[in-house]
Every structure is written in C-alpha cells, then in structure tokens.
Chains A and B, each alone.
Chain A
C-alpha cells in the first residue's frame, strides 16, 4: 500500500536494520517506526482490545494511538513518534498475540 518515493532503503541517508515480529526489516535512519513498518508492507499494527479488529496508523502524528506496538519488550509504544534504532525489536499484534 505504501512505498518509498525513491526506491532505495537508505543508501543515501544511512541504513538501519530493525526486527519486526522476528524478521529483519531495512529502514532509513530517521524513519519513524510506523513509517518503516508501512514501507516494509506491515498492515496490522495492533488489534482493538474490544472487538479484535485489526488497526493501523491513522494520524502519524501522535494523536490517535492507533499505531501502538511493542518496542524492545515495552508494549503500547507509539510507533509514529519513535525513531528507528539499529537492532530495535518491534512486535505488532500479529507477532505478539498476547498483547491484545
């Protein structure tokens, strides 16, 4: 659904590798976690704790809390407000079924 405007994955700005649900994902330095995940094709970030419906980033600016993921073991982090860091471990609702 989302792709980068210039095809590269960080040759110019610096490449950062993170792990998403256990698999390696290439991001660019300065990417938000949400941006990196969307560019990598991740669609389901979390599930509604009431209905179980899959949810994804909406506002991308820290307001809607739809993009919550587990980052380095800490649940409920706002993926759109946190920059990627080398080796960061990200778990979405798909990869972290206990976190509903």
Chain B
C-alpha cells in the first residue's frame, strides 16, 4: 500500500492535473493516476481557448463560475509558469467571434449583451469590420464584424498540460503515467485504488478522467450523464502574424501556424477526420480570411469533447461514498484556474464549493445513457 494521500485524482488531463496541482499547492499530499496514450484525451487535441463570451447566457451559475476562473487565470498562470519553468503562451487580452451578416450580429449581441446588461469587464461589444480591418490585415469582404470580450484569451493547450505535469513533479505529486485505475474501493474513511500491483490509499478521491468518468463513476454510485462530441481541427503552415486576438473558429499561434476549428458532431467514440467536416471548417475560414487559401495544411485531427446533455459541467460527490468526487467539463482550459484555486482546496477540505451546487449529476436523472451516436 502506497498510503496516506489526502487526494487521489483519477485522470491526468487538464482537469485532473489542474485539480491535483491546486490541491498540492494548498498543502495536500496528492497522487494522480493517468491513463494510457491510446485513451481518449480531450486535453491533447483541443483549441486552447480561455473563453467567457457566450458561456452561461441561459445559465447564470455557469457564467459566474466561468468568470470566476477568468479572474483567477492571471495569478494561476503566473504561479504555474513559475512553478514549472514552462511558458505556455497565456494571453488574456480579448477574443473575437466573427459574424458574416448584420442579422447574425444582431442575434448574437441580443443574447450576449442585451439592453441593461452589466457594463463590467466581461461586457461583450460589437466591432464592425471597418474597425477590425485596421488591426487585422486580410480580413475578408464578407466579414460583417465580430463580438469582442476583453476577458477572453488563449493558451497553448499542449504546453499548458506540460507545465501542469512539470509543476506536479516539482510539487512531489506522485503521477502514475500510462497506468489505469484497475479497481477502486471504499475502505471506510477513504479509498483504495489499484494501479497494477500497487495500492494507493487516499482520504478523498476525484474522478477527472473525462469520458471514462461514466464507467468509473458507476462503481462509486455516481450516474454521470457524459457522452462524446467530436471536434475536427486543422492547422496550417506558419505564416506572418495577421490575427492579434484569438477567435472562436480561428486563432494564430505565436509560432505563426493558424488553428482552424471545429466541428461539433455526435458520432460516438469515433476520432476519425473526414473531408466533409474539414472542408466545412476550411470554407468558413476562407470566408473570414481569403489569404489562408494559399497556405498548406500541416495536419488535421479530431478529439472528443466531454459533453453533457445541457452542455454545462458536472461536479458531484457520491452520496453512497462521501469523499468520492467527480468533475467533468468540456471547458477544462477555461476552468483550469477555478479548478485549481477553488474546487481542489474545497475537495481537500471535504466538500464541493457552493458555486457548483447547480451542476450536480442528479439534474440528468431521466437521462438515457448513450454514446452520442447519430440518433442523438
């Protein structure tokens, strides 16, 4: 028995690592059980946006949770960069969502910035194409404008994960990579997790294994309404800087490559890419920036979002086995700061923070489990 952990985290993606690092930073003894390379890993394929605009328009607690994370991100990013020695390209100087017509702009602004909404630092404003064109060379003639939120931003998602892993190592967090949690059982006052021949014992347990949380949760009396949603992405060769802010479907990385995304497809556990999906992404991107048509595509890939029926996260503590928690969300990057700074210390102290009360698993009690296939 490798014992005495305050918290054992199952899942070494962005959510698991952020929570583990947060718990370790709060003084906890923490272990992380990561899966294998062939597992579905949303953290290895995502777009890297740190995003608030449009989040929680119809769900104020989600808007509040997201904004809390956006507020915490600068401190979290600085501390993580310091702890890991890795620059993960954190920026939070605003983000764009391009629209192609007056209609689209009006609809979006009505939802995101209705009359009377707060003029705080998350206020979304509309920037007409003429204004955008001054800062964005090559903006296509079809672009009507963009909605802009000054609190939005981005990271390099792969480097963020690398930084978290590095910080965990330096914080003496035990990370079992390429290993599965073969069995989990409650021991009365804690949990024992089998990892190969090893037994990890922890006072508390956090399931942060993405889509695998569904299966892991069942063993702990947690019914988690999770299903995969495929996103296909493209990346171009490097090109001179033209886009100073990240956008929802297009962002230019500091190295000059252009990321283009993304599809939202309910096709089950299928990570293949296809011409139809990729062509749709490319066509939309060309309407925004015709000059991208001259660039070679370097790679395409797909990953699986961890989706819930209402698109909001799930945070839950097992009623049957108190001390066992689950966290699942498709916005692990945006929420990384609040997971590290709020969720993890609360779990370490024995409960979920009040902020996440409305994200309980029980809201999907009538949900019929599915894999997000075409019938859904």
Which one of A48, A50, A76, A100 contacts B295 once the chains associate, using CB atoms below 8 Å?
A76
A68-B237, A76-B237 given; A50·B298 CB < 8 A? no
Residue of A nearest to B295 (CB): A76
Report the bound CA distance from A49 to B241 in whole Å: 8
B357 interfacial by beta-carbon distance below 8 Å: no
Q: Are A50 and B256 in contact (CB under 8 A)?
A: yes
Q: Are B238 and A65 in contact (CB under 8 A)?
A: yes
Report the bound CA distance from A100 to B238 in whole Å: 10
Q: How many A-B residue pairs have CB under 8 A?
A: 24
Inter-chain contacts of B239 with A (CB < 8 A): 49
Inter-chain contacts of A76 with B (CB < 8 A): 237, 295-296
Inter-chain contacts of A49 with B (CB < 8 A): 238-241, 256
Inter-chain contacts of B375 with A (CB < 8 A): none
B274 interfacial by beta-carbon distance below 8 Å: no
Inter-chain contacts of A65 with B (CB < 8 A): 237-238, 296, 298
Which one of B237, B255, B296 contacts A50 once the chains associate, using CB atoms below 8 Å?
B255
**Binding site secondary structure of chain B:** loop
Report the bound CA distance from A48 to B238 in whole Å: 8
Within A53-100, the residues touching B (CB, 8 Å) are: 65, 68, 76, 100
Report the bound CA distance from A48 to B240 in whole Å: 8
Q: Are A48 and B296 in contact (CB under 8 A)?
A: no
Report the bound CA distance from A100 to B254 in whole Å: 16
Inter-chain contacts of B296 with A (CB < 8 A): 65, 68, 76
Report the bound CA distance from A68 to B255 in whole Å: 15
Report the bound CA distance from A48 to B239 in whole Å: 8
Residue of A nearest to B238 (CB): A49
Max chain A C-beta neighbours (<10 A), residue from B238, B254, B255: B238
Q: Are B237 and A100 in contact (CB under 8 A)?
A: no
Residue of A nearest to B253 (CB): A50
Residue of A nearest to B257 (CB): A65
Report the bound CA distance from A95 to B348 in whole Å: 61
Report the bound CA distance from A100 to B298 in whole Å: 17
Report the bound CA distance from A74 to B106 in whole Å: 43
Inter-chain contacts of A48 with B (CB < 8 A): 238, 255-256
Inter-chain contacts of B240 with A (CB < 8 A): 49-50, 100
Report the bound CA distance from A15 to B256 in whole Å: 38
Report the bound CA distance from A7 to B140 in whole Å: 53
Cβ contacts B284-306/A at 8 Å (1 or 0 each)? 00000000000110100000000
Within B247-261, the residues touching A (CB, 8 Å) are: 254-256
Report the bound CA distance from A50 to B238 in whole Å: 8
Report the bound CA distance from A65 to B295 in whole Å: 12
Report the bound CA distance from A68 to B238 in whole Å: 10
Cβ contacts A38-50/B at 8 Å (1 or 0 each)? 0000000000111
Residue of B nearest to A66 (CB): B238
Report the bound CA distance from A25 to B237 in whole Å: 27
Max chain B C-beta neighbours (<10 A), residue from A48, A76, A100: A76
Known A-B contacts: A65-B238, A76-B295. Give 12 more (CB < 8 A). Answer: A48-B255, A49-B240, A49-B241, A50-B238, A50-B241, A50-B254, A65-B296, A65-B298, A68-B237, A68-B296, A76-B296, A100-B240
Listed in ascending order, the chain A residues whose CB lies under 8 Å from chain B are 48-50, 65, 68, 76, 100
Sample 5 A-B pairs with CB under 8 A, ordered by A number.
A50-B238, A50-B254, A65-B238, A65-B296, A100-B240
**In the complex, the 10 A-B pairs of residues with the closest C-beta atoms, listed nearest first:** A50-B256, A49-B240, A76-B296, A49-B256, A49-B238, A49-B239, A65-B298, A65-B237, A76-B237, A50-B241
